[in-house]
Amino acid sequence: MESINVRIDHGDEQRCTPGVTILEVLKIQHPDLFKSAVAAEIEGRLVDLIQVLDRDMNLRIITTDEPVGMGVFWHSTSHVMAQAVKSLFPETKLAIGPAIEGGFYYDFALDRPLTTDDLPRIEEKMREIIKKAQPFVRNTLSKADAIAFFEERGEHFKVEIIQEFPDDIISVYFNDGFADLCRGPHLPSTDYVKHFKLLNIAGAYWRGDERNAVLQRIYGISFPTKSLLDAHLRQLEEAKKRDHRRLGKELDLFSFQVEGPGFVFWHPNGMILYNTIQNYMREMFFKHGYQEIRTPIILNETLWHRSGHWDNYKENMYFTSVDDQAYAVKPMNCPGGLLVYKNSPHSYRDMPIKMAEMGLVHRHEKSGVLHGLFRVRQFTQDDAHVFCMPDQLETEVIRIIDMITEVYEAFGFFQYQIELSTRPARSIGDASMWEQAEKVLQSALNRKGIPFEINRGEGAFYGPKIDYHIRDSIGRLWQCGTIQVDFSMPERFELEYVGADGERHRPVMIHRAIFGSLERFIGILIEHYGGAFPIWLAPVQCVVIPISEKHRDAASDTMTRLTESGLRCRFDARNEKMGYKIREAEMQKIPYMCIIGDRESQDHTVSVRKRKTGDVGSRPVEEFIATLKEEMARRTSD
RNA sequence: GCUGGCGUAGCUCAAUCGGUAGAGCAGCUGAUUUGUAAUCAGCCGGUUGUAGGUUCAAGUCCUAUCGCCAGCUCCA
């Protein structure tokens, strides 16, 4: 019998018998890979491990160490879940069940609403299926046969999907009596799915369209080892502990009230954060050559017609009337800023003009999307508009990039991802302007040596943009900053400047925000720091704790001294033991505690306890103040 | 907006089959005078989100409503 040559992962060629499966080859030749392999890649195509080898080829083995491999793993788990649901509730119709970034889901249509109480039952059934080690078998059918097959099974969602496929070859995976339309590849058998957990249930529309049927979605996660699953669940726990809604309550930062859903009530502690951050941003405005303006919250409706918001943004706006005239509450700051620009003539000598505004905007978000500080209906933008001459555009973009970097680093964000979004299908302005602006943004990023991804067709209708996604301390990405070139507004508002030639010219406008929404950014900071703010942001920086009543006066003096030097302190003179007060200060995540007992009141020192670290010894009050001041100035976290 | 779940004291939660709301923490008062994450005792605290309904009886069942939570195509 002839043999074939197979090369695995760029290794040596191996002689194999035709008809052998990849799995069989691995088992004998690569026992280590055999353990972690989930699929293989042949000439750029993903295939099952039970694929039969019938000719010479190069193979790449996909393991769970790479995202693609985890995708296969999760996808197979979602099949097992669907199989379990189908066996528990036979009338269930299957929609789709893909692997997603952190796990998988499957959408079902069934009459009975699923609840979290059903999850253990489904998990139990899944364990049975896994135990049986049912092989996943791939079959290919013609389009017509596939439609007939799923029609017979009453799986009309599958039929709908197949009908839209361009090719005539449809793959279906079988294990035991379960069959699912699937591109594959899949794990060789169900027992590869070792450790899993179903996480939650939610509603989802068929194809994400609210006009379609509502399906029930189950989310889950799985891993090849228990320790990986446990680590993942711990990470979810960690994220839960950092949830800014929870910390906002625990640290008494803000609240929401039924009287104003989506509108933040800032408490005194939260106000410290809010103002500290805002003051910091003001410093940055001036340091980077911005002038600050403030424009009204409600403005005549005609302005919003002119700006285009009426046509493009009406659904998200609030309206009111003043003296029988129609007014609108601003959802964005730019029109107001444009009016300020237009209020006086401008010379090329003044350009660029950089106007910043801490603008309070209102946007009517659908009730279902409100989410703590992350999605609110009223928020403050650290907005700015840069009006410049076309040849200044690149320099200004680079200056903005530098400013954004500086600001993020002050908050401990050193990693971010950047996307450049280009002209969308529906847009205004001529092609050469777009091309020019896209080139400018790209070249600015290149000159700063910042890697970025291009998001084709995702730009705003009025111009291309750069978006920043910052990575927080537990690895999550948050979209914050944005730099947008705008051709539309200067046109609509007929902005002008007088050039060196004495003629009137149209300026280019850049919109930029660094935090985006101050509310949202504070939410991100709360989660990023887990509520343990660096001292410059901490609402309370130090608690003064007298050990007993007789140290009260000495402690009070210390307290006065600290307050006078501008530190935000709290005096805990309650009739409680020191340990009790320390515990409370730790739970409130206050960075420093000053303990005053006999020794300290005698030598005018303080016994310093640092959050998380514990007792760090005694020192003179003045020395302690100097240390704190220095730490504040450095804006370090811990 | 839509689907599902949840709303009990300031907070975290209990209350069996529908049988007449309870605990810890917090708060207040008192005792204790404390050396690096909870001293002890007593007291206060509720129209069970709101409005209707069913029932001899509703936190519990039904309807409506408000709010909160999970989500609402990372293309089989």
Q: Is the CB of A550 under 7 A from strand B?
A: yes
Q: What are the structure tokens assigned to A379, written together?
A: 């928020």
Listed as own residue / partner, the contacts of A299-302 with beta carbons closer than 8 Å and 24 or more positions apart are A299/A327, A299/A328, A299/A330, A299/A335, A299/A336, A300/A325, A300/A326, A300/A327, A300/A328, A301/A325, A301/A326, A301/A327, A301/A328
| pLDDT for residue A638 | 57
Which nucleotide lies at the shortest CA–C1' distance from A200? B70
Between CA A568 and C1' B31 the distance (Å) reads: 33
3-state DSSP assignment of residue A602: helix
The parts of chain A modelled with pLDDT lower than 50 are none
Instruction: State the pTM of this model.
Output: 0.92
Backbone angles phi and psi of A528, in degrees to 5? -60, -45
Query: Which residues of A does the annotation mark as catalytic?
Result: 334, 363, 381, 383, 385, 465, 511
Q: Is the CB of A545 under 7 A from strand B?
A: no
Q: Is the CB of A548 under 7 A from strand B?
A: yes
Residue A287 and residue A596: Cα distance in Å, rounded?
A: 41
Q: Is the CB of A153 under 7 A from strand B?
A: no
Between CA A574 and C1' B40 the distance (Å) reads: 16
Residue A367 and residue A3: Cα distance in Å, rounded?
A: 65
| pLDDT for residue A200 | 86
In chain B, which nucleotides are within 7 Å of a protein Cβ? 1-5, 11-12, 27, 30-39, 66-76
| pLDDT for residue A16 | 83
Q: Is the CB of A165 under 7 A from strand B?
A: yes
Residue A488 and residue A429: Cα distance in Å, rounded?
A: 7
288-317 on A, CB < 7 Å from strand B: none
pLDDT in tens, A151-173: 998 899 999 999 888 888 889 99
Q: Is the CB of A576 under 7 A from strand B?
A: yes
Which nucleotide lies at the shortest CA–C1' distance from A585? B37
Q: Is the CB of A216 under 7 A from strand B?
A: yes
3-state DSSP assignment of residue A18: coil
